[in-house]
Structure 1
């Protein structure tokens, strides 16, 4: 089996990622996009191992839990809020 960087598999599995985003929307997770699902996988699932086989990447997409996704979104929101607070603090000087 061929191993590639996960970014190289993205165009091939785009429909799988879109399917996972749709699944999360059906479960009521709000405005889930394929891009946020992909970013969650990059940050939470593939943070160490990024050279993988196609079936491993697809398996990780299918096994992405709503809990892990919400954990990712929560951290992104906190980081975004911290950034906005920092920008506001600097511009108020």
Structure 2
């Protein structure tokens, strides 16, 4: 029987403070949840930094454009939507270079 492993890094959880990190290393000893960290690791994924930046920008745009729609589908309350927005999703720390 196949089983899925827990997806720790995609499961929203409460954060204290603004800093966020991943359970898995992104590159070297870097676990920080920052787009800048992903751009620095782009070559490890056979991407140029420009290609990685385009992917990140597209992801951010999709999140912004579909946030309300996804929250409606998930039946999130207004309180939960406000709690997650800019904390778990598009956290300013992640966007800061």
| TM-score (norm. length: structure 1) | 0.32
